[in-house]
Amino acid sequence: MIRTVEDARVTVVVMSRNRRAALLDSLARHRAPVILVDNGSDDGTVQAVREVFPDVEVVALGGNIGAAARTEGARRAATPFVAFADDDSWWAPGSLRRAADVLAASPQVAVAHARVLLGEEERIDPFDRVLARSPLSPVGGRASLLGFMACGSMVRRDAFLDVGGFDPIVRFPGEEQRVALDLVGAGWSLVHVPEALVHHHPSPMRDAPEVRAAAVTRSQVLTAVLRLPWSDVLRVGARACRRPEGRSGLRAALRDLPAAARERRVAPARALRAWETVRRAG
């Protein structure tokens, strides 16, 4: 196929594992050079993509490294901006350019977060409303953020990589919070760009809600250990203990706690002030 390139400033990085059918459908919709990082699929994904989409750069990993796969893709990108997508998501026509224009016009902004539309009904993702109500001071008239959803975001490549990208400790899901803390701590801003749209058709192969909730709790605990004061670590842990999936997430975090403790570096004051503002706002 001959892929339409909407904006030469952008590369789309896609992370996938064992979702060949959904991936083959979504890859055709991207309007930019695509780097696919495959997390050790055993369903023929890599071979199928190479046959159907020879223009896609395929990075076949030997195993599943979670969201750190996106970091591998960003390292290989040759453009200043990287738009992330999952195997069940894609950026709407014109939206790559809209998000790239925001990053180009705002040198202090490292992440432009699009509005995410769910399913065939194109319902606005509930997280979008959370972003729009951010209690942080606006940046350039846009909502300023301390969190983002990877598949709905475009990042300034160098800023993203300078803070380490997504890491092998937190992995997935919930990998974005540590990156957001590090970016804000380094002086960058993250903003909401609702005029840019991302379509997300969640795969039926996703984990059950309680399993995903436990996995998110695991990431929250590990992120807290990596970057937050011990008082906040205890607060995150105590909140997790109040529900069964939270307790499951705590148990899952135990294996990676030693690695998180070794990499612990409390976030700078500006990031902690933003964290406290968001926490107090609920």
What confidence score (pLDDT) does residue 204 get? 80
Quote the CA–CA distance of 149 and 177 in Å, as a whole number.
9
Predicted model pTM: 0.96
Residue 97 near residue 197 (C-beta atoms within 8 A):
no
Distance CA 216, CA 245 (A): 9
> How confident is the model at residue 245, as a pLDDT?
96
pLDDT, position 282: 82
DSSP annotation of 267 reads: P
Angular region, 116: left φ>0, alpha ψ -120 to 50, beta rest:
beta
For the segment(s) 10-200, the CATH number from 3.30.565.10, 2.40.10.10, 3.90.550.10, 3.40.50.970 is 3.90.550.10
pLDDT at 2: 74
Segments in the chain below pLDDT 50: none
Q: Which residue has the tokens 């890859």?
A: 27
Q: What sign does the dihedral 254-248-177-134 (CA atoms) show? A: negative
| Residue 3 confidence (pLDDT) | 85
Helix 269-280 to helix 176-185 angle, to the nearest 10 degrees? 130
Tokens of 235: 């607060």
Chain centroid to CA 49: 23
pLDDT at 141: 96
Check if the beta carbon of residue 44 is closer than 8 Å to that of residue 120.
no
For residue 129, how many other CB atoms are within 10 A of its CB? Answer: 9
Domain ranges of the chain: 10-200, 209-267
Q: How far apart are CA 139 and CA 224, in angstroms?
A: 26
Neighbours of 26 (CB within 10 A): 23
So what's the pLDDT on residue 80?
A: 98
What pLDDT is attached to residue 61? 97
* Cα 172 from Cα 218, distance rounded (Å): 9
243-262 per-position pLDDT tens digit: 999 999 999 999 999 999 99
Residue 49: is it exposed, middle or buried by C-beta count within 10 angstroms (0-12/13-18/19+)?
Answer: buried
Give tens-digit pLDDT for 27-71.
999 999 999 999 999 999 999 999 999 999 999 999 999 999 999
Query: d(Cα 50, Cα 197) in Å, to the nearest integer?
Result: 28
Distance CA(241)–CA(152), nearest Å, equals 30
User: What pairs with residue 36 in β-bridges?
Assistant: 14, 58
- pLDDT value, residue 207: 79
Helix (H) or strand (E) holding 212: helix 209-227
